[in-house]
Chain A
Amino acid sequence: MSKILIRGAKVLGGEPQDVLIDGATIAAVGRDLPADGAEIVEAGGKVLLPGLVDLHTHLREPGREDSETVLTGTRAAASGGYTAVFAMANTFPVADTAGVVEQVWRLGKEHGYCDVRPIGAVTVGLEGHKLAELGAMHESAAGVTVFSDDGKCVHDAVIMRRALEYVKAFDGVVAQHAQEPRLTEGAEMNEGVVSAELGLGGWPAVAEESIIARDVLLAEHVGSRVHICHLSTAGSVEIVRWAKSRGIRVTAEVTPHHLLLTDELVRTYDPVYKVNPPLRTERDVTALREALADGTIDIVATDHAPHPHEDKDCEWAAAAMGMVGLETALSVVQETMVDTGLLDWAGVADRMSFQPARIGRAEGHGRPVSAGEPANLTLVDTAYRGSVDPAGFASRSRNTPYEGRELPGRVTHTWLRGKATLVDGKLT
């Protein structure tokens, strides 16, 4: 592999420097590095970040290739600056055996746009009754370390306890979709002022918070770590903050959409805003931003959830839940966290690369931008402003809530172990 010299990049938002990539590795970081025959990329003051890591992606393959495949999903990831994604287990068939996770892992490897780390289901068929073969998935070529029934909550306290305990044997982590099922029967949106008016079934904050409270206590009791998916309420933030202050090994993620959007948008009855957990209130959004800034929430994860057009071009009740997010995540984080002064670019690197890689044990990802480290990098034009045009997405699906919305920042280059996957905003 040849050499690439990235000239004048603000590494993690700092002073402009040059970064020399040699093969799959960063060879040098410094000022005025000699070109020495390397291919030159003029960064011109763009921000250079470690390749982003998404702990929560739905790639849909196998089973729903009409909405996304490993290929289209990883191309979307590369477009968004990601070099690793964790693929959720709620496929058809469910990723609850070594065979399925190996298939997904292998597809990611073949396509080469970004590393795919499959997440294994906690229970067989996501049904919440019987533990899946977690050890077999871990020992497979896919090397699964994160387990989740995402889309469904592991609601049985005993099953959750056992799963938390069991994965300790191989340093795994259970990522909980916190949703008390009985409290959310028929739930269609956040329960509150807007749901009362619109006559849509309410999804109360307490249904998330009660499960998080239970699970941090379980994690404490059995000495395991637990990860909370898509935390969405101010109350959940307080519980996680309390748990961390007690030394409980809990980590939590927030999605870009929960950092930006509120349930007021549901007044349009446009299912593009239908998502699980639902969009909450302004008060929740503020609490989530603060929690991400102070580290109570460890990471941003996209919950990239592609759906075909017909599943959103319908009435609210009939629509699927979820939004695509890989290609807009960094822009939303810039808008909500950086441009508001809550987080600097080093903070963004921490929340979108270092921490998710650490939680998921994604080796070679989430590393510092320094000599000797793997060349997983992304270059961001932070001065850019433009409106979101889903027609330009690499994802097979277009269900974005940001269509036509002006957002800052644009990923121009992504390198996966020194190989460019995105050049000047175009996939290779």
Chain B
Amino acid sequence: MQRHLISAADLTRDDAVLILDTAEEMARVADRPIKKLPTLRGRTVVNLFFEDSTRTRISFEAAEKRLSADVINFSAKGSSVSKGESLKDTAQTLEAMGVDAVVIRHGASGAPYRLATSGWIDAHVINAGDGTHQHPTQALLDAFTMRRRLVGRDAGLGQDLAGRRITIVGDVLHSRVARSNVDLLHTLGAGVTLVAPPTLLPVGIDTWPCEVSYDLDRTLPKSDAVMMLRVQRERMNAAFFPTEREYSRRYGLDGDRMARMPEHAIVMHPGPMVRGMEITAEVADSDRCTVIEQVANGVSIRMAVLYLLLGGAEFAAKNAPAVTPARTTEEK
């Protein structure tokens, strides 16, 4: 593992599998009456959020607290940042207070990379979403969800997603989730197909390690998982598509379309969903939809990332959190 987690593209297959396996260990903590590990006792983690994101912030916070870290939440709104303080000064101020890791969400692509590489601070940097660039923990929790559902909770340990066919549908152009997922799923051996109207695919996409299609109906039967991306209604004002109605008709997932997916295939969504736009209530509330699981898995993944980055060097069985024995009771 590296010092920082900035981009899903930085992870090797073995790194990623290690994180997923560690997250399985962490998930077992959630099943215990006392959902807490002492691992990061005495370490301080700041959640530095320049962009509103309640769910991601809460997910990181839950993960940090379950690992017994001291948690500081910093929201740019109403802070010195809104009075013109720079990212550099904010980060250095926080580090002076003894922060070991910075979880950063920022509206500008590359802000976490700058923070990690500019020599401004020494703390570990974890990217919690930057602009339209990357959201690596989202990709990891998505891969975790897929591995559990498609390979199996225990059968999946040590495994990647080789040969699985993943379809990602929607606003790829503005999506850090799509970018992170393409990188990570490719690393894990899955075949990815992006489906979107041509206006919502970036120029230059041809070098990405994935297929691109404009036709959802032809892609669905060949999918083991279908990930629907949020499409903001405002996009139609910039002529990315004519109307909401036309978007849902061509690219939305409804019951009829879901029926064309293989029986084992799952429906995923990073949230927040825009019901009636990219996904109908019928699909969102169906058993095949993993939205709620993804949220739960997000905490496990973030625990694993924090544990591996801050907890020291190699993650080996003997250093594993003291929940390993529980696995045997949960086989099958």
Q: Residues of A at under 8 Å CB distance from B?
A: 188, 191-200, 202, 204, 268-270, 310, 313-318
Known: A310-B86, A314-B87. A198 touches B203 (CB 8 A): no
With beta carbons under 8 angstroms apart, the residue of B107, B110, B203, B207 that contacts A200 is B110
Q: What residue of chain A has the Cβ atom nearest to residue B203's Cβ?
A: A191
Q: Are B107 and A317 in contact (CB under 8 A)?
A: yes
Q: Are A314 and B88 in contact (CB under 8 A)?
A: yes
Q: Mark B173-208, 1 if CB is under 8 A from A, else 0.
A: 000100100000000000000000000001111111
Q: Are A316 and B204 in contact (CB under 8 A)?
A: no
With beta carbons under 8 angstroms apart, the residue of A198, A268, A313, A317 that contacts B88 is A313
Q: Are A196 and B114 in contact (CB under 8 A)?
A: no
Q: Are A199 and B109 in contact (CB under 8 A)?
A: yes
Known: A199-B134, A269-B114, A310-B86. A315 touches B106 (CB 8 A): yes
Known: A191-B204, A310-B86. A199 touches B107 (CB 8 A): no
Known: A197-B204, A199-B179. A314 touches B86 (CB 8 A): yes
> Hey, which chain B residues are within 8 Å of A197, CB to CB?
179, 204, 207-208
Q: What residue of chain A has the Cβ atom nearest to residue B6's Cβ?
A: A269
Cβ-based interface call for B133 (8 A): yes
Q: Are A192 and B86 in contact (CB under 8 A)?
A: no
Apart from A200-B109, A318-B86, A318-B87: 19 A-B pairs, beta carbons within 8 A = A193-B204, A193-B206, A196-B203, A196-B205, A196-B208, A197-B179, A197-B207, A197-B208, A198-B109, A198-B110, A199-B133, A199-B176, A199-B179, A200-B133, A310-B86, A316-B109, A316-B110, A316-B114, A317-B108
Instruction: Give the one of A196, A202, A314, A317 with max B CB within 10 A.
Output: A196
Question: Considering the chains assembled together, what is the distance between the CA atoms of A197 and B8 in angstroms?
Answer: 12
- Nearest 6 pairs of A and B residues by beta carbon: A269-B110, A199-B133, A317-B108, A196-B204, A199-B132, A196-B202
Q: Mark B259-273, 1 if CB is under 8 A from A, else 0.
A: 000000000000000
Q: Mark B11-33, 1 if CB is under 8 A from A, else 0.
A: 00000000000000000000000
Q: How far is the CB of A299 from chain B (nearest CB, A)?
A: 31
Q: Are B203 and A315 in contact (CB under 8 A)?
A: no
Instruction: Give the one of B108, B117, B130, B133 with max A CB within 10 A.
Output: B108
Cβ-based interface call for B74 (8 A): no
Cβ-based interface call for B258 (8 A): no
Q: How many residues of B contact A (CB 8 A)?
A: 27
Known: A200-B109, A317-B107, A317-B108. A195 touches B204 (CB 8 A): yes
With beta carbons under 8 angstroms apart, the residue of B108, B134, B179, B207 that contacts A316 is B108
Cβ-based interface call for B113 (8 A): yes
> Hey, which chain B residues are within 8 Å of A313, CB to CB?
86, 88, 118
Q: Are B179 and A315 in contact (CB under 8 A)?
A: no
Q: Mark B89-113, 1 if CB is under 8 A from A, else 0.
A: 0000000000000000011111101
Cβ-based interface call for B321 (8 A): no
Q: How far is the CB of A23 from chain B (nearest CB, A)?
A: 52
Question: Considering the chains assembled together, what is the distance between the CA atoms of A44 and B272 in angstroms?
Answer: 72
Cβ-based interface call for B131 (8 A): yes
> Hey, which chain A residues are within 8 Å of B133, CB to CB?
198-200
Question: Considering the chains assembled together, what is the distance between the CA atoms of A76 and B100 in angstroms?
Answer: 44
> Hey, which chain A residues are within 8 Å of B110, CB to CB?
198-200, 269, 315-317
Question: Considering the chains assembled together, what is the distance between the CA atoms of A90 and B266 in angstroms?
Answer: 56
> Hey, which chain B residues are within 8 Å of A192, CB to CB?
203-204
> Hey, which chain A residues are within 8 Å of B208, CB to CB?
196-197
What are 17 contact pairs spanning A and B, CB under 8 A? A195-B202, A197-B207, A200-B110, A200-B131, A200-B133, A202-B202, A204-B203, A269-B109, A269-B110, A269-B113, A313-B86, A313-B88, A315-B108, A316-B108, A316-B109, A316-B110, A317-B131
Q: Mark B57-94, 1 if CB is under 8 A from A, else 0.
A: 00000000000000000000000000000111000000
Q: What residue of chain A has the Cβ atom nearest to residue B130's Cβ?
A: A199
Question: Considering the chains assembled together, what is the distance between the CA atoms of A317 and B131 in angstroms?
Answer: 10
> Hey, which chain A residues are within 8 Å of B86, CB to CB?
310, 313-314, 318
> Hey, which chain A residues are within 8 Å of B87, CB to CB?
314-315, 318
> Hey, which chain A residues are within 8 Å of B107, CB to CB?
317
Q: How far is the CB of B284 from chain A (nearest CB, A)?
A: 27
> Hey, which chain A residues are within 8 Å of B106, CB to CB?
315
Question: Considering the chains assembled together, what is the distance between the CA atoms of A202 and B131 in angstroms?
Answer: 13
Instruction: Give the one of A198, A199, A270, A314 with max B CB within 10 A.
Output: A199
Q: What residue of chain B has the Cβ atom nearest to residue A313's Cβ?
A: B88
